[in-house]
Structure formats: structure tokens, C-alpha cells
Amino acid sequence: MTGAVPVKPQPGEEAADPVALAAELIRAPSVTPHAQDALELVARRLEAAGYHVERLTFSTDGVPVVNLYARIGEAAPNLCFAGHVDVVPEGDAAAWRHGPYAGTVEDGVLYGRGAVDMKGAVAAFLAAALAFGRPARGSLSFLITGDEEGPALDGTVRVVEWLTAKGEVIDHCVLGEPTNPQALGDAFKVGRRGSLSGIVTVKGVQGHVAYPHLADNPIPRLLKLLAALTAMPLDEGSDFFPPSNLEVVSVDVANPVFNLIPAEATARFNVRFNDLFTLESLKAEIVRRLDSAGAAYALAFRPGASQSFLTAPSPFTDLVADAVAAETGRRPEASTSGGSSDARFIKDLCPVVEFGLVGQTMHKVDEATPVSDIRALARIYGRIIERYFATFA
């Protein structure tokens, strides 16, 4: 068993080594939205390679969020790599095998918060882009945010607005989210389900449980509404998507005692939905189901809902799948499963596919990835870059 050692780039030798870059990024703690140090590491590497780098700061709630857009080349086509360097909190740091921000390699595995989600992928694409250099025809660009794991109000969505306003064109995009369930080459994402959250509230009259005729218990009515909401599947899935799914995630009456009928009962739900629904048609279906229960209620849909989207099969999706297969020996499944990602914003600019590391340890204590996977991912990204400009430029 080898000892645990921090990974340090050797002067002039590992300037584009993806494992050294990933470790360096991990050692720049960047819990959302405080990702400026990690972003600055990426910016300095890109500027040294001749990229024009824009540092973009946005603030909705008074907390500044730093983002980065960098490009080398002026001509079309523009192939963009998108990702994030912000991470979720480490939790109990004492429970980690190694310090969550140490960027330590032990027995061929890199440990640290963000190793999988997704500093490893950022480092892999950075290494691949630096190795490729300036395209002879066309452009390479990076869109990196510090607000993906948080509310996502001042990250990629704002950068997309900025790019649109200045007329910057991105032709295709690869997003480096961890897409593989078990092994590198399992899957790449060609779409995402939409997401809609809501709160159902039922009003009653508070009173003593011994005198129910003097009160009005809202809980039975809420249960009746939830039964109507969940009795039947929303759909059976579509050609590219699994069935839409509604989950009740909270039922609350804020009542800690046993002798009180509460005055109000609420339930929270989330729907992950496929391309058989739009946001409007899904909201209408939820209202129809609740109305069928015959009980008075109030319904509030939460902000931040997202529409489902699909990047249809094309020469670009084939190119990405071919690059993965050439490196791993497995042709990845075209998947639309999982949660949301910043692809929901980028799809308004251009076709986008997602491919990154294996997601088994993302957000966990001892988040880690084999260094061999980071190196293989860098080679996959390198193949994508080479084939892209050979095909589209």
C-alpha cells in the first residue's frame, strides 16, 4: 500500500497534467458562492495560453458571484466547455479519510471535495484544451460558474444572458457533469427532465381535540388532495425520457402536541417531468387532479421551475459518443435521467451534451475519483476537440 501524498505540478513538466490541475483546484476551497480562488486558477492558466478571459460578477441577493467566460479564436465554429468549480460543503471534516481540501492521492485515487463534481472534469478539459492549443479554424471557449450548487441565480443563467446580449455565438457545448453511473463510458446526457415544485395549503379552524365540533381539522382534506394528486402515474414515458414522477416531499402542520387540532396543513411536492409535458400543461394537470378531490385548497408554484429539453441525435452527439467509445471501448447510453444541471440554461444557446466522471461519490464524505479516470477523461475531451474541428470547421 502506497502512502498518501499531495499532488503538486512539477515546474515545466505537468503544466497540463489533469490530475495535478484537479488537485490544485481542490486545494482552492470554493463552497458556493465563494469560488473566486478556484476560478482565478482556471483564468490564469487560460490567459497564459492566449485565451481572452472575462471575469463576470453578478449579484441578485447582495452576494457577489464570480463567473468566467474565456475564448481563443474569433471564427466559427465555437466549441464551448461548460462547468462549475463551486462545491457543496464538506460536512464533518473529521470524518474524511484525508482533508476535504488537501487534494491528496492515495493508491491511485484522488480525494477531495469537488474531485468528481466537478473539478476533475474542469481540470481534464483544461488539460485537453491546453494540449490542443489554438484551433487553426474556429474557436474554443470555457464557461465556468461559481453558482451551480447553490440557487443558480447568478451563474450560468446570467452568463448566457450576457453572451446573448453581446452577440457571442456558441455553436456546440460539452458540459462536464458526472454522468456515468458505474464506469467511465456508461452514459452521456442528451437531455434533462424539467422540474416543478409546489405547495398545497389547506386552511382549518384550530381547536381542542375533545371538542371537534368547535374546530375544523384541515388534515383529512389535505390527505384527500394528496391522494388525488398521486393516485395515477402522470405518464408512461416517451421515446427519450423515463416516466414523469411526482414526489410529495413534506407534509407539515407545525403541531408538536396531541390535544390540538391545527389551523393549517401544508404539503410540498416536486415533479420531474419529461417532454410529454410543458410547464403550462403540467400545472394544468396538477390543478385538475387537485380540483377532482372536491376540497378547498390554495396552491403556489415555486419559482425556479425548468422545462425539459432534448439534444436530438445529430453528428455532434455521434461525435461525442464515438470519442467516448474510442477511449473506453464502450459506446455510452444516451441518457436523460438524473437531476437538473446548467445544461437547462445552455440549451438556449446551442446543442449541449454532458459527459464527465463516475458519480458514485459526488457530495459524499471522501468524494474521490481514480486518477486513471481523470486522465482518460482528458483523453476523451482531447478526442472530442480534435474530431470537432476536423468535422465542423
Binding residue ranges: 84, 117, 149, 177, 363
| Strands 139-145 vs 78-84: parallel, antiparallel or unpaired | parallel
Is 14 an annotated catalytic residue?
Answer: no
Q: How far apart are CA 268 and CA 270, in angstroms?
A: 7
- To the query of whether residue 86 is one of the catalytic residues in this protein, the response is yes
Q: Annotated binding residues for Zn(2+), as ranges? A: 84, 117, 149, 177, 363
For residue 294 the three cell numbers come to 372536491
Would you say 33 and 146 are in contact if contact means Cβ atoms under 8 Å apart? Answer: yes
d(CA 370, CA 365): 16
CA 177/CA 232 separation, integer angstroms: 33
Active-site choice (24, 86, 154, 171): 86
Count Cβ atoms below 10 Å from residue 90 Cβ, excluding itself.
18
Task: Please give the torsion angle defined by the CA atoms of residues 192, 342, 385 and 375, in that order, rounded to the nearest 10 degrees.
Answer: -90
Which stretches of 12-78 are DSSP H helices?
18-26, 36-48
The Cβ of residue 96 has, within 10 Å, a number of other Cβ atoms equal to 21
Which of these is catalytic: 148, 264, 285, 354?
Answer: 148
Residue 345 gets which letter from DSSP? H
DSSP, residue by residue, 261-272: E-SEEEEEEEEE
Q: What share of the chain is helix, strand, coil (3-state, %, to 5)?
A: 30, 25, 45
**Radius of gyration, CA atoms only, the chain:** 24
- Catalytic site residues? 86, 148
